[in-house]
Amino acid sequence: MARYKKYIFILVGSLAILSVAAVFAFNYVPILKVEGKAATYSEFLKVYNAFKTYDLVSQKTHAEEQELKRRALASLIDDKFLEIIVQKTNTSLKLEAEQNVEKAILEMKEGDFSLEEAANKLYGLSAADFKKFVLIPEAEKDLLVKHYEYNPSELDDLWAFWARNAKVKIYYPGYEWRDGEVKIK
């Protein structure tokens, strides 16, 4: 009986080690949390590479790597704030934003336009990631602006409130959340 316990212990230990290795291998490690909502290292890499690719194809002076990482972290945090504000304002806005994006993409497909090609060339993203990280958040922002069109300062106040009061933790080394923004340590 003691022999079986030893094998079970080894099996459980091996499975635990493999699980941890899988998390790291597939980049599911949280890189930041905003009010308990996590963004993963994989998401960070996609957003960072999008900033880097866009920076390379733009005609402006290229930003430092540290600054691009800061912008990627700030973008992910903004997306989490957006998620919170949409949820607290009207949960159907997310679905409406997704539908608006799909409708716009269908209309573009009728012409000679390739979302996949444009997303890849400008941002180094797949069409699915471009929708997730760029198009849907922008559609949600547009719907929020429309929702608060009679009192735009209320929306500004919501963003300022979350920037000041949200519990934000950044786990990426060399960066921190201070005074409502991502700072380089």
Greater model confidence, 183 or 2: 183
Does residue 9 register a pLDDT over 90? Answer: no
Lowest mean pLDDT among 12-21, 32-41, 113-122: 12-21
Stated length of the chain: 185
Q: Are 77 and 182 in contact (CB under 8 A)?
A: yes
DSSP character at residue 46: H
Torsion of CA 142, 146, 151, 156, to 10 degrees: -10
Does residue 20 register a pLDDT over 70? Answer: no
Q: d(Cα 148, Cα 141) in Å, to the nearest integer?
A: 11
User: For the segment 42-87, what is each residue's pLDDT rounded down to a tens digit?
Assistant: 999 999 999 999 888 887 778 899 999 999 999 999 999 999 999 9
Q: d(Cα 150, Cα 154) in Å, to the nearest integer?
A: 9
131: left (phi over 0), alpha (psi -120 to 50) or beta: alpha
Share of the chain above pLDDT 70, in %: 88
Helices 92-109 & 136-147 angle (0-180, nearest 10) = 120
Average model confidence (pLDDT) across the chain: 86
Residue 24: per-residue pLDDT: 61
**Residue 114: pLDDT band with limits 50, 70, 90:** confident
Residue 110: per-residue pLDDT: 67
Q: 27-184 has which fold?
A: Triger factor/SurA peptide-binding fold (1.10.4030)
Lowest mean pLDDT among 19-28, 88-97, 100-109, 118-127: 19-28
Mean pLDDT calculated for residue range 110-138: 85
Residue 117: per-residue pLDDT: 84
Mean pLDDT calculated for residue range 90-114: 83
